[in-house]
Structure 1
Amino acid sequence: MANGNTVLVVDDNDQNLYLIEVLLKSQNFHVTTAKDGKQALEKARKDIPFMIISDILMPVMDGFTLCRAWKQDDLLKEVPFVFYTATYTDQKDEEYALSLGADKFIRKPMEPDLFLEQIQTVLKESLEKSLPTHEPLVKDEDEDYKLYSERLVNKLEKKMFQLEEEIETRKKVEIELRDSKKEWKDIFQAIGNPAFIIDNEYNILNANLAAINASKVSENELKKMKCYEIFHGLDKPVHNCPMCNLINTNQKQTGEIEIENFGGSYLISCTPIFDGKNKLEKAIHIATDITALKKAEKSLRDSEKKFKSVFHNAHIGIVIANNEGELEDFNEDFRKLLGYGRAELLGMNFGNFTFPDDLENELEYFNKIKDGLLSTYRLQKRYVTKNKDIKWIELTVSAVRGNDGEIIQFIGMVLDIDEQKKSEENKKQLEMQLRQSQKIEAIGNLAGGIAHDFNNILSTIIGYTELSFDDVEKGSILEDNLNEIYNGGKRARDLVQQILTFARKADEDIIRIRPDQMAKEVVKLLKSTTPSSIEIRTHFNTSSYIMGNSIQLHQVFMNLCTNSIQSMEDAGGILELNIKDKVFPSLTEDTIGVQGGESILIKVSDTGTGIPKNVLDSIFDPYFTTKELGQGTGLGLSTVHGIIKSYGGEITVKSQENIGTTFKIYLPIVSNNGQTQSHKDVSIPKGTEKILFVDDESSIVDVGKKILTRLGYKVTAMTSSFEALDRFRSNPDAFDLVITDMTMPNLSGDRLSSELIKIRSDIPIILLTGFSKKIDKDKAVQMGIKAFAHKPLVLSKLAKIIRKVLNS
């Protein structure tokens, strides 16, 4: 009698047995297992199960035979028989299984719930005696056996086709396995090229006859030598030795190398052989003479069997094609390169997987060989794989001719150089970026020089303007004019700072600024350089402040507006720049990254070409650019994104091709604590101390002396740093403070300061600079300098610095 909840599971795969057992036990079944049909019958006859679930392909006794025996056994035939298999099944397998009496045929893989549902259905039908019956496909025993054999043979053929390394029939493989030792020796000796067995210390363990002949030494002598001794006459491996690379990587290696003692260039193929612990034991080293390719071709024609052993173990793509370029044979490396199945590639023309732009060039060479104008050709080209990937390869093609001189076949050797090509492309990109950075560095150096001279000029303009304020009637037109000059000088000063920041040569202080004022300056600059076909519209409805850096914000406006203008250069269009206050009562998709609730909204829109959808998500990535080589660094929008994020803001973009692009920037508003003071409202501290003022520019010395004198100080002004040093040395206590320029001939400001401090260690020094790469605030403080400031300084700031230094 059948055991009420026992299920017998039959499968030669331990993992399959385990998975089904766990699944059935989760439903409170008792499970017994067997690994073949014979074992299953023995167990079932001792303890009849409630159901049997069996695979088809198994050793000793397969599933079909088991099912036939099961249904013919009086004790077992009423027990439901279920096939659960994925081993190369088709509809005919199912039909045959059901004809043998199987109650269910289930294909793997199947979701666990569905599988259990199928099992429960079979059990229910079994209990209700409602299991479907199936007529045998054939009633004659011989016909049944024939059908059974066809099913198994069909499965075996499919299985053979799936095995990566089996390229011949199973029968041939079995013969090769039985005779592998003898056949290996025969094949090894039959290889037409020098072949060696070399251990992981470069010792030659064995060599075929071709190797012995090429080496011109006896086999016994060869086995006492290192490979590099016999190949190159050296005491160590040569550079880029494939055998050396194999030992270092444990991977197959190929490469071209000069073998001096063999007298030519050889294509070396090194194939690793591992021991039972997967440790490199030795390697098969085959040297193919590519200086005499025609001899190799003839040897291959005369020794097809010998060629096949090399053909399938060379670890370089090899392909054979007929006169029309249709593939007749190829090795596994070539198949893997293209990604097709063997059946798909056989008969395919090489033009089908050649990149279209490369086909015409190769056909020209191919036809020249057919016309007898060339015997071989080598070129670099691109293949299109089955997955539509494009791969660079180096192809060498030669014609194989018969005794009558007519071309029989073409043989191609294919080397994968895709990584090499990518490296070359990356190198070009890096070189382009280097050139761009060198340009920026050159601009920076030029900007530094301009900044120094221009700041000196501005110092004179601002200084004399401030002196003039005390000499004009308050509220007069002249005072208004002076105010315009004064404000213009400060704007020019800020412009110099913008140039230095662009060149990465100025500090970037974060202060309270108004974005609308910065935008107005940018628009003025753009209008002078923008084509008349592009209209610039602005709408500023804000007077709010943000925390930021005016130079960085200038860079943001310039980058976004310049990109918009460039997108409309061909067809013209409209650039709109809008700024307004916007209060956000709740977080939205656009403002998810904005710190705080109240923000300024900056919107830059254009009617240009738009940004392609497939690159929209990448526009803020560093070095990403859609511009042609040499026209962009890919840093503009990345820099903009970084600046906005550093301010606690958010930037978004929406774009449609041929319609336009809109960037939105949200920046947190800060309160305006205090109003900006005009020149006449500023409180200016004064004093009566004695000051030594040094600058090599006479105009700055003149205006500096006048300003300091008007502030009440007693001033000694000098244009020579050497003379100033002598003057100080003669009477160090004659001065309460020294103010010196940094960049001066002969003796620079920092060196002058050092000498003054040596003479009198407590002398307060203020160091001024229009621009200097040599020194900054930190270095100045380390030297003992009390204050460090950039030209041009407005009177109020200079007065406060002087007073602060003297008071301290």
Structure 2
Amino acid sequence: MKALIRYIVFFHTVLFALTMAHAEKTVTMGIYQNIPLCFTDSSNQPQGIYIDVLNHIANKEGWRIKYRIDTWNRCLQALDKHEIDLMCGIAVTLERKNRYFFNDENVMLDWGQIYLSVGSSIQSILDLNHKKIATISGGILRTALQDLARAFDVTCNFVLVESANEVFDLIEQNEVDAGTVLRLFGMRFSYQYHVKPSPIVFAPLHLRFATANPQKQNLLNAIDYHLKSLKDTDSSVYYQSINRWLIDSPIHWHLPGWILISTAALLFFLLMTSIILKRKINRRTLELHSQNIKLQQEIDRRIEADKALAFSEKRFSQYIECSPDGVFVSDNNGCFAEVNPSACALTGYSRDELIGMSIFVLVPNDKQDKAKNHFAKVRHKGKSSGVLPYLTKSGTQKFWIISAVKLSNNEFLGFAKDITEIKIAENKLIKSERLLRTIAHNYPHSYVSIIEKDMTVSFSSGQEFQRMKLEPEQFNGKHLSEIFGTQATYIIQQYEKTFLGEEVSFELFFNDQYQLYKTVPMIESDNSIPRILVVVENISQQKKIEQEKAQLERQLLQAQKMEAIGTLAGGIAHDFNNILAIILGNIELCLEESDPMDPIHLSMAEAQTASIRARELIRQILNFSRQTMPDKEPIAIIPIVKESTQLIRASVPSSIKINTNIVDSEDAIIGNPTQINQILLNLCSNAVYAMGEKGTLTIEASREVPDPVPSLINDLEKKPYIKISVIDNGSGIPQDIINKVFDPYFTTKKIGEGSGMGLSMVYSIIQSHNGAITFHSSSDHGTQFNIFLPIIYEKVNTKQDLPEPTLKGSGNILFVDDEEMLVKLGRRMLTQMGYSVTGFHDPVAALSDFESHASDYDLVITDMTMPDISGKNFSKKILAIRPDIPIFLCTGYSDAIDETMAKELGIKQFLLKPLSKRKLAEEVYAVLMR
């Protein structure tokens, strides 16, 4: 029985630890600056031996480690207040054992050492008498040195500091005579200071993890488990970390000066020691007497503790003996090794009969597999629970629920509770429930009532009452006005028609649901109608489906509109890009051939800038219609905000005042300028709509490091962002729809005034930029949207590069485009680059020429969208004739082919119009000249 009690105690301890380990996913640990054990690097990231070990254990245990970085004293204060779960690098002392719980495995062994200024003559503990000594406040080295000095009748004056670096600073500045630091720290950092180690070494320290919260001891158990395993493996994280921070790191060893004179001073030291020891013997005799008294007191205390433990074990034994549940221990084969009286009472066997009996003897044959699977689960996973049938000694089948845990490889602890009566009741309940469901299914989502002529209810029944968690009997005898309140008048009017012989059907929204009422007169033999039958059906789901259908139809219509816009945008893009290609190409040629000082040159440059903006406008149209996916690149955000603000000024009525507070910054984000412009246009458009004909629109932009708070998309972190705010003093967003503003197709505007996609698009863009958004709104102050876009710490060069000379080359090029002006332009550009160009605006004629002179050409440049034959099929036919020739496929826009498809066809380059001359030169040169 004592063995069983120990199993029970161990089980509860393990169960508690498992429960706590499962519940505690976040572990907070305090760290202070103690290189190489624990410290923070230049980026304020925790590092050191303790950090490496704990991160490894956390990964195994599924913990999320949260580090609190502070001084030694403040970390101890946080540990005392349970503000942190763990403290690392804390030495074990008797006094601390009374305050904290420590793990058993040492992470490191260290000891204290006295450091001196370079010219100091201190050589022993006796030389420290009346000296000023720097030491860390709250650290163990001060206490240890104080005890050592007291033993030699030495008085030290301690100067308290917050870190070991401050100790070295004070020694170097001769503000103290000596200082105490840990040996490992001194070995690594003393060379950085004008200090030297002394021969005084003291206080061996066992450095471990500690917690002040008794409920966190399971963390220490897990740490010990993994730490022991790490120490047993030479290649583990533990030894890798030691190699990293101790062996591979720059440790500077010093040969103490005292070694050079130690031999000469040895005789003098021994003489002084014998004199000192003689003085100490008498005093130590008295101390030993005092210690003997204390030892006897400790023995007495432990005797009392043993008696209390024995009493506790006896009382716990009584609990087990009297437990109504069966408790047993089995071996690895499933045979009973120990049982309590309740286990005997449940099975009908005596203790002697059960000991050595297999558990599976008690299991019916048809449940043997289930029982063995249950036992196998305990073997492999450490615990299991479930309901199993069992046979008593008399052969009666009963049921019990068994919970079992693995104590060791050969022992398993189980608890069994008989639930036979519960199972019988459960089976009866199942039968009753089946019958009840059969009856209830006659009235799905409905209930039936009988209404008397005085408009009182005489009978009610049906499935719907159960769904509404109401008892039908509570309505019997009540007047309709008591049940339906103000809606009773309308209902009575409908029922009165039925009392006149008319069957009535009507809908009503009552009790947060849509209901369909159908009435039938209950006609007596004398043709009187003293009462009517009412069937009430819950049609809320049907109404919901109808509303969703209407919503889907609206969304489908909106999607069709967007598709039409996309198709139109694609057509515009193709034609417009061809036009722009001609305009830009000729402008480039004119700029090259004109004098930069000529006013005409300046006008052409401005025309070029306008044309490039037109090209970007086409890309915006394609982005809006979802025809292309916008690229992202490092961009300076503030200039884009300013440009968007100017565009907004031009489109907002003059009655709307616009205020701006945009702080200049060269900070960059990873983003797309067009989409940033879309965000601002959508938010400002909504703000202007909310203000009506008059109001103030404010646009702000600045660099900000916000406090970490939740956001609608990505939670804000404490790091630099560009914050963009759009503020209006309009009517605000009503509270009942404030959670719907980012839903697709949701809009408060009239039909034709908005699609409901604006804020949804804003949400999507910010999400794709890894940004965050917050907003607040009230009817008194209007609405403010705050956009946060993360800075990438990279300045973007916003200055235009000086034009580089056009690359020149040689070779024969076949140039095909259905736009004759583009053919002329392409021939002119490529000829200036040194190439021989044959141009066609008819692809069929071009193909015929290539069939006859395929070997004469080095490169083919073709348009995609052409009459008679598309650029895709044209390229296929060219490659069929000469598979090795490189082809450039150019398009203003096409949804029939993209770059990936082009590469699969064997096309060398897929280029988007309009192309600059420089871009064309680079692509052709790369193929023909390299």
TM-score for the superposition, normalised by structure 1: 0.57
Quick one: distance in 2 between partners of 1:603 and 1:589? Answer: 17
Equivalent of residue 891 in structure 2, options 754, 757, 769: 769
2:731 is equivalent to residue 602 of structure 1: no
Q: Mapping of 1:145-184 within 5 angstroms?
A: none
Measure, in 2, the Cα distance between the counterparts of 1:360 and 1:765: 82
**Shift of residue 749, structure 1, vs aligned partner:** 0.7
Measured after TM superposition, the shift of residue 587 of structure 1 is: 4.9
Residue identity opposite 2:705 in structure 1: F
Rounded Cα–Cα distance in structure 2 between residues aligned with 1:637 and 1:535: 23
Post-superposition shift, 1:526?
4.0
Q: Is this contact kept in 2: 1:275–1:281, CA < 8 A?
A: no
CA distance in 2, matches of 1:758, 1:656: 68
Asked if 1:555 is matched to 2:678, the reply is: yes
CA contact (8 A) 2:707 2:718 kept: no
CA distance in 1, matches of 2:492, 2:818: 74
Tell me the CA shift for residue 276 of structure 1. Answer: 9.0
Contact kept in structure 1, 2:503 and 2:520, CA below 8 Å: yes
Conserved? CA contact 1:312–1:331, under 8 Å: no
Structure 1 residues 729 and 284, CA, compared in 2 at 3 Å: closer, same or farther?
A: closer
What is the distance in 2 between the residues matched to 1:733 and 1:359? 94
Distance 1:659 1:511 in 2: 37
Contact kept? 1:688, 1:714, Cα under 8 Å: yes
Shift of 1:318: 0.7
Q: Is the 8 A contact 2:695 2:730 kept in 1?
A: yes
Structure 1 stretch displaced more, 519-528 or 751-760: 519-528
Name the residue aligned to 1:444: 566
2:530 is paired with a residue of what secondary structure? Answer: strand
C-alpha distance in 1 between matches for 2:524 and 2:906: 92
Q: Distance in 1 between matches of 2:316 and 2:516?
A: 57
Letter in 2 for 1:379: F
For residues 639-658 of structure 1, the aligned pairs below 5 Å read 639-658=761-780
1:483 and 2:612 aligned: no
Q: How does 1:116-515 map to 2 (within 5 A)?
A: 316-333=446-463, 335-336=465-466, 338-342=468-472, 344-350=474-480, 362-370=491-499, 372=500, 375-384=502-511, 390-402=512-524, 405-515=527-637
Structure-1 residue corresponding to 2:192: none
Q: What SS does structure 1 have at the residue aligned with 2:593? A: coil
How far apart are the structure 1 equivalents of 2:682 and 2:872?
A: 38
Q: How far did 1:801 drift?
A: 1.6
Secondary structure of the structure 2 residue equivalent to 1:681: coil
Distance of 2:704 and 2:434 partners within structure 1: 74
Query: What CA deviation, in whole Å up to 9, does each residue of 1:63-113 have, x standing for no partner?
Result: xxxxxxxxxxxxxxxxxxxxxxxxxxxxxxxxxxxxxxxxxxxxxxxxxxx
Which of 865, 868, 872 aligns to 1:750? It is 872
Q: Note the C-alpha offset of 1:405.
A: 4.3
CA contact (8 A) 2:505 2:517 kept: yes
Distance in 2 separating the partners of 1:498 and 1:345: 64
SS in 2 for 1:426: helix
CA distance in 1, matches of 2:913, 2:704: 40
Q: Which of 904, 907, 916 in structure 2 is aligned with 1:782? A: 904
What displacement does 1:543 show? 4.5
Deviation at residue 779 of structure 1 after TM alignment: 0.5
1:696 aligned residue: 818
Does structure 2 retain, via aligned residues, the 8 Å contact 1:321–1:328?
yes
Distance across 1 between alignment mates of 2:672 and 2:868? 36
How far has the Cα of 1:510 moved from its partner? 0.8
Offset at 1:682?
3.5
Q: Which residue of 2 aligns with 1:733?
A: 855
Residue 676 of structure 1: how far off its partner (Å): 4.5
Q: Distance in 1 between matches of 2:682 and 2:567?
A: 22
1:712 positional shift = 2.3
Following superposition, the deviation at residue 674 of structure 1 comes to 6.4
CA distances 1:385-420 after superposition (whole Å, capped 9, x unpaired): xxxxx1122211123344554431222011222222
Which segments of 5 or more consecutive residues in structure 1 lack a partner in the other structure? Answer: 1-24, 35-273, 287-309, 385-389
TM superposition shift of 1:577: 1.6
Give the conservation status (yes or no) of the 8 Å contact 1:317–1:413: yes
- SS of 2:839's partner is strand
Q: Structure 1 pair 320/276, CA: closer, same or farther in 2 (3 Å)?
A: closer
Q: Which moved more, 1:323-332 or 1:525-534?
A: 525-534
Contact 2:445–2:538 under 8 Å retained in 1: no
The change in CA–CA distance for 1:761 and 1:672 in structure 2 (over 3 A counts) is same
Pair 1:406–1:525, CA change in 2 (3 A): farther
Q: Give the aligned residue type for 1:321.
A: I
SS state of the match for residue 612, structure 2?
A: helix
Per the alignment, residue 584 of structure 1 pairs with 705
TM-aligned CA distance change 1:415 to 1:355, over 3 Å: farther
Per-residue CA deviations over 1:735-786 (Å, capped at 9, x if unaligned) read 2211111001111111111111111111111111011011000011111111
Q: Please tell me whether the aligned partners of residues 433 and 633 of structure 1 are also in contact (alpha carbons under 8 angstroms).
A: no
CA contact (8 A) 1:355 1:382 kept: no
Q: Percent identity?
A: 34
Match in the other structure for 2:660 = 538
Is the contact made by 1:323 and 1:409 (CA closer than 8 Å) also made in structure 2? yes
SS in 2 for 1:474: coil
Q: For residue 176 of structure 1, what is the aligned residue in structure 2? A: none
**Deviation string, structure 1 residues 215-251 (Cα, Å, up to 9, x no partner):** xxxxxxxxxxxxxxxxxxxxxxxxxxxxxxxxxxxxx
Partner amino acid for 1:550?
Answer: P
Distance 1:560 1:760 in 2: 55
Query: How many positions carry a matched residue from both structures?
Result: 512
**Following superposition of structure 1 onto structure 2, how do residues 639-718 of structure 1 map, counting pairs within 5 Å?**
639-670=761-792, 675-676=797-798, 678=800, 680-718=802-840
| 1:460-504 residue CA offsets vs partner (Å, 9 max, x unmatched) | 111111111022221333222112111111111111011101111
Distance (whole Å) between structure 2 residues aligned to residue 337 and residue 325 of structure 1: 25
**Deviations for 1:516-561, whole angstroms, at most 9, x for unmatched residues?**
4433454454445444443333343324332111232222222222
Greater shift in the superposed pair: 637-646 or 797-806: 637-646
Distance 1:354 1:466, change over 3 A: farther
**Counterpart residue identity of residue 369, structure 1:** T
CA distance in 2, matches of 1:559, 1:27: 75
Q: Give 3-state SS (helix, strand or coil) of 1:470's partner.
A: helix
What amino acid does structure 1 have at the position aligned with 2:641? A
Change (3 A) 1:710 1:676: farther
Distance 1:30 1:688 in 2: 99
> Do the aligned residues in 1 keep the contact of 2:445 with 2:464 (CA within 8 Å)?
no
Contact 2:450/2:531, CA 8 A, preserved across alignment: yes
Q: State which drifts further: 778-787 or 795-804.
A: 795-804
Deviation at 1:562, TM superposition (A): 2.0
Deviation at 1:803, TM superposition (A): 1.5
Aligned CA-pair RMSD: 3.7
Deviation at 1:604, TM superposition (A): 0.8
1: CA distance, partners of 2:752 / 2:454 = 43
Cα gap change, 1:398 to 1:577, in 2 (>3 Å): same
Distance 2:827 2:657 in 1: 50
Asked if the contact 1:596–1:668 (Cα under 8 Å) also holds between the matched residues in 2, the reply is: no
Distance 1:790 1:360, change over 3 A: farther
CA apart distance, 1:446: 0.7
Q: Does the CA contact (< 8 Å) of 2:662 and 2:701 recur in 1?
A: yes
Provide the rounded CA distance (Å) in 2 between the counterparts of 1:744 and 1:411: 75
* Deviation for aligned residue 1:634: 5.0
1:123-152 Cα shifts (integer Å, max 9, x gaps): xxxxxxxxxxxxxxxxxxxxxxxxxxxxxx
Relative distance call for 1:282 and 1:458 in structure 2 (3 A) is same
